[in-house]
Amino acid sequence: MKNRYLLAVLALLVSSHLLAKEDSYLLSIAGVGMSMNYSEYLDDETLYDTEKSDINAIVGVELQASYIQNFENGNYSQIGLSLMNVSGQTQYTGGIIGSGLGYGSYVSSTKNTVVDVELEYRYVSTITDDFELINGVGIGHRAWTRTLSATQVEVYYWHSLRLRMGGIYKYDNISIGGLVQYQYSINPKMSLAIPTSSVILDLRSADIIKLSVPVKYKYSEDINLFMKYVYEKQTIEKSNVVEGWLEPRSEAYNQYLKFGAEFKF
Q: What is the pLDDT of residue 141?
A: 98
Per-chain mean pLDDT for the chain? 91
> How much is the pLDDT for 98?
64
The C-alpha atoms of residue 168 and residue 165 are separated, in whole angstroms, by 10
- pLDDT at residue number 16: 37
User: What is the C-alpha to C-alpha distance for residues 76 and 125, in angstroms, rounded to an integer?
Assistant: 7
Cα(27)–Cα(215) distance, rounded to whole angstroms? 17
Share of the chain above pLDDT 70, in %: 90
Pick the closest to residue 252 from 94, 140, 137, 144 (CA basis). Answer: 144
Q: How far apart are CA 82 and CA 61, in angstroms?
A: 11
DSSP string, 226-242: EEEEEEEEEEE--B--B
Distance between CA atoms of residues 16 and 248, nearest Å? 61
Choose among 97, 111, 121, 116: nearest CA to 49: 97
Angstrom distance (rounded) from CA 258 to CA 253: 17
State pLDDT tens for residues 12-70.
334 434 444 678 999 999 999 999 999 999 999 999 999 999 999 999 999 999 999 99
Q: Tell me what pLDDT residue 256 has.
A: 98
Would you kindly state where each structural domain of the chain is located, as residue ranges?
Answer: 23-264
The SS3 assignment for 2 reads helix
Q: Which CATH class is domain 23-264?
A: mainly beta
Q: Is the pLDDT of residue 238 over 70?
A: yes
Q: Does residue 2 surpass a pLDDT of 50?
A: no
Q: Are 56 and 95 in contact (CB under 8 A)?
A: no
More confident residue, 14 or 96: 96
pTM for this one? 0.88
> Across the chain, where does the E strand assignment appear?
24-35, 37-41, 47-52, 58-70, 76-94, 106-126, 131-149, 152-171, 174-194, 197-202, 206-218, 223-236, 249-264
Question: What pLDDT is recorded for position 5?
Answer: 43
> Quick one: pLDDT band at residue 211, thresholds 50, 70, 90?
very high
Cβ-in-10-Å burial (0-12, 13-18, 19+) of 125 comes to middle
pLDDT of residue 258: 98
pLDDT band at 202 (very low <50, low <70, confident <90, very high): very high
Q: Are 56 and 98 in contact, with CB atoms under 8 Å apart?
A: no
Q: Is 128 left (phi over 0), alpha (psi -120 to 50) or beta?
A: beta
What confidence score (pLDDT) does residue 15 get? Answer: 41
Cβ atoms < 10 Å from Cβ of 5 = 9
Kindly indicate the confidence band of residue 232, based on its pLDDT and cuts at 50, 70 and 90: very high
